[in-house]
Amino acid sequence: QVQLVESGGGLVQPGGSLRLSCAASGSIFSLNDMGWYRQAPGNQRELVANINSGGFTKYADSVKGRFTISRDNAKNTVYLQMNSLKPEDTAVYYCNARVRRTGGSGLDLYWGQGTQVTVSS
């Protein structure tokens, strides 16, 4: 089995910063794409950013220039640095990862449990 555990969410004022972390553990042979999604009440889950094993990144237009995704392959961890936060960034943030499991074939998609980010004065 594979587990993804997020941390770093919380309450922050507009203009503030937060750093989210997502650590993968379990029967991992390799990690392929890793990403962050978010879901606000009444909205569909949307892509925030993702990063492939080579470090290539992609961002939603709404966060470009404010958020930075990175990964530490030695720690099986992906990060999301969020700066200049706005009230509209308020959502539950989920990480995901495409994993090749030890002894397995192909890639399986795993999700974390989510962490709440609230931007409010």
pLDDT (tens digit per residue) in 70-100? 999 999 999 999 999 999 999 999 999 999 9
DSSP assignment of 99-111 equals EEETT--S-EEEE
What is the CA 116 to chain-centroid distance, rounded? Answer: 12
Q: What is the dihedral of CA 24, 37, 70, 108, to 10 degrees?
A: 40
pLDDT at 39 over 90: yes
- When pLDDT is cut at 50, 70 and 90, the band that residue 103 belongs to is confident
Q: What is the mean pLDDT of the chain?
A: 96
CA distance linking residue 76 with residue 31, whole number of Å: 7
Q: What percent of the chain has pLDDT over 90?
A: 95
| pLDDT at residue 37 in the model | 98
